[in-house]
């Protein structure tokens, strides 16, 4: 594979229990990386048993949850080559109906949890260097109905990426982000469950379909590999062309 070779590279993927995170875990394993994946509960990582993927329980919304896993990987393998911050949650609630607990649940996972995980990785690797891929969303770039708080946190994920890329570049860290569009996962179940909404959303995407979780893997493998060694602070949008119209 040359510059795209991931053989022997250690990769940690948060939110690997399903959807995009699960697809990333499988595709990185297929690319001969050493893969660790997290889920918030023991049952959410059951699927990893026997696959070759190392599952770990961690709720990134809780302070200190990721540091021990990063330390473990560094101790076993010498370093963590790539951290993929994929864990995230979304709700479809009208802005006026948000309760305090709804707001902070999303912020604590999508923004604070992502930041803390980046911070934990940097603290253990600042003398070694590292590579971070933050999974944001096309809704971090454009506005969309019923996505106010979620969009805000995903926009923040983009700015975390750009700011830390500038701040940590002298410690040999690279940070880039991927912005998926509407992907066929449980997070978009409400779209799939409503035929009229599903048809409307699909027609609005130039490629006329929702993305598949594995559609995100190519961009992630590129960013995790030496093929992107001169890239930092950048955003790759994988949305079937949706944002080109907005």
The per-residue pLDDT for 123 is 98
User: Whole-angstrom Cα distance, residue 82 to residue 90?
Assistant: 25
Superfamily grouping for domain 2-186+213-239: NAD(P)-binding Rossmann-like Domain (3.40.50.720)
Percent of the chain with pLDDT over 70: 96
User: Whole-angstrom Cα distance, residue 134 to residue 136?
Assistant: 6
Asked if 230 is an active-site residue, the reply is no
Domain ranges of the chain: 2-186+213-239
The per-residue pLDDT for 143 is 85
| Catalytic residue from among 36, 104, 150, 230 | 150
The pTM is what? 0.95
The per-residue pLDDT for 201 is 81
pLDDT in tens, 86-121: 999 998 889 999 999 999 999 999 999 999 999 999
The per-residue pLDDT for 190 is 65
User: Whole-angstrom Cα distance, residue 176 to residue 13?
Assistant: 15
DSSP characters over 119-180 = HHHHHHHTTT-EEEEEE--GGGTS--TT-HHHHHHHHHHHHHHHHHHHHHGGGTEEEEEEEE
pLDDT in tens, 140-175: 999 888 889 999 999 999 999 999 999 999 999 999
């Amino acid at each position: 594979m040359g510059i795209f070779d991931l053989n022997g590279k250690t990769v940690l993927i948060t939110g690997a229990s399903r959807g995009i995170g699960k697809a990333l875990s499988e595709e990185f394993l297929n690319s001969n990386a050493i893969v660790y994946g997290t889920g918030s509960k023991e049952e959410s990582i059951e699927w990893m048993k026997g696959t070759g993927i190392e599952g770990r329980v961690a709720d990134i919304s809780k302070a200190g949850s990721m540091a021990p896993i990063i330390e473990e990987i560094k101790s076993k393998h010498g370093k963590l080559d790539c951290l993929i911050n994929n864990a995230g949650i979304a709700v479809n609630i009208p802005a006026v109906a948000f309760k305090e607990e709804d707001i902070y649940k999303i912020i604590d996972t999508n923004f604070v949890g992502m930041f803390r995980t980046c911070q934990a990785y940097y603290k253990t690797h600042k003398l070694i260097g590292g590579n971070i891929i933050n999974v944001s969303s096309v809704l971090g770039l454009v506005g969309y109905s019923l996505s106010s708080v979620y969009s805000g946190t995903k926009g923040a994920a983009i700015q975390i990426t750009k700011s830390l890329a500038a701040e940590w570049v002298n410690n040999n860290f690279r940070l880039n982000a991927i912005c998926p569009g509407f992907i066929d996962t449980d997070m978009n179940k409400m779209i799939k469950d409503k035929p009229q909404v599903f048809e409307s959303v699909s027609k609005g995407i130039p490629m006329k379909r929702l993305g598949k979780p594995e559609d995100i893997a190519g961009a992630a493998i590129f960013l995790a590999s030496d093929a992107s060694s001169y890239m930092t602070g950048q955003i790759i949008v994988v949305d079937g062309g949706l944002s080109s119209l907005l």
